[in-house]
Structure 1
Amino acid sequence: MTKFTTESLALALVILSPICFLATATLQQLLIVDDFLLPFLQNYFKVKDIPFVMIGVVFVWTYVITAFISVIAQSVGLKNGYDNSEPRLYKGLLRGALARMVAAHQVALENAPAFFAAVIVASANKVPLKYRTSFSIMYTFLRIIHTPLYVLDFDIARAIVHIMALSCTAWLFAFALLPGFEKNYSSIIEVVTILRSVSDDSTWTFD
């Protein structure tokens, strides 16, 4: 577990947020999703339907699987078991992994609606399919791995994954709602490409 002061937390967020946004943009541009995950999904679904399939996957993960994990944690962690008449009353008494199991469900609940809205708005506004599929698949993958990272207390990795998932939602909204954003996005990608080229071409010598 890593503890931060208010100032160090704010600084960490300022540094991490743009890095995570650039990371998801880079992953989208590198076609990792298109080359590895998309071909598998195409065996079962039409490409145009995949963003909505991801909504379904996130819905099940959020409202069924993590909900079940949360109930199990409360049943195990509370002395008198899970009280269905007052299910939220004793959550604050849980500690450790059991508390994190409940918290992981709550985080999923908080983030899923924005993702659903982003996919729907992006589809309604005819955002190019390549962006809708790649960012929706990335969000789903990141949101799923966020839960075990949370429960197992990999707090730094969890925070990075969480911000990256949020960035996928933000990218979808940006493409859908900001006129001409695709051109600006292309400029961002060009900067990332240049930085990668400089990094690849650099040689480090140690005397």
Structure 2
Amino acid sequence: MTIAYACILFMGLLPYVAVGIAKKGFEGYDNAMPRQWLAKQTGFRARANAAQANLFESLPFFFAAVIIASVAHAPQDRIDLLAVGFVLARIVYLICYIANWPTTRSIVWLFGIICVVSLFFQI
């Protein structure tokens, strides 16, 4: 397994970390209606849930970029570097979202998108 493919696996699991943070302590958690419970949350729980949604939304673009670059035989070291850059950006993004640092979060988001777009230019 390449580093980039390991990044795909990691990114596939990262949204679940965000939702775990949103459900931290399960105060009043309703497992029968988890989405409705999450929709009513405020503060860090609401931000973690929003981060979860955004993390899921970013997956197809990232997965496609890594796979297409790999199939096109782009240099593996560059694919790995850009994939790791994206993963690190998304981890910092999650931290910024939960901490309520919107400007920093947007800058980190931009860095992540640049990594993904750059993967396409490796082809």
What TM-score do the two structures reach when normalised by structure 1?
Answer: 0.55
Deviations 1:96-154 (A, max 9, x none): 22211111111111112221121111100111123201100100111111111111111
Which runs of 5 or more residues in structure 1 are unaligned?
1-47, 177-207
Q: Which residue of 1 aligns with 2:76?
A: 129
- One-letter identity of the residue aligned with 1:89: Q
Counterpart secondary structure, 2:121? helix
Range with bigger deviation, 114-123 or 167-176 = 167-176
Residue 107 of structure 1 is aligned with which of 54, 65, 72? 54
Q: Distance in 1 between matches of 2:106 and 2:45?
A: 19
Amino acid across the alignment from 1:69: I
Quick one: distance in 1 between partners of 2:37 and 2:17?
Answer: 21
- Cα deviation, 1:28-54, whole Å, max 9, x if unaligned, reads xxxxxxxxxxxxxxxxxxxx7111111
Q: Secondary structure at the match of 1:90?
A: helix
Q: Within 5 Å, give how 1:1-207 maps onto structure 2.
A: 49-62=2-15, 64-72=16-24, 75-76=26-27, 81-176=28-123
Corresponding pairs, count: 123
Deviation at 1:60, TM superposition (A): 2.3
Sequence identity of aligned pairs in percent? 28
Instruction: Quote how far apart the aligned CAs of 1:93 are.
Output: 2.1
Shift of 1:156: 0.6
Which residue type is aligned with residue 11 of structure 2? V
CA distance in 2, matches of 1:100, 1:71: 11
Structure with bigger gyration radius? 1
CA distance in 2, matches of 1:93, 1:53: 34
Alpha-carbon distance in 2 for matches of 1:107, 1:154: 15
**SS class of match (1:60):** helix
Deviations 1:44-86 (A, max 9, x none): xxxx711111112222222x3223123327x33xxxx222222
How far apart are the structure 2 equivalents of 1:50 and 1:88? 34
Task: Give the TM-score normalised by the residue count of structure 2.
Answer: 0.88
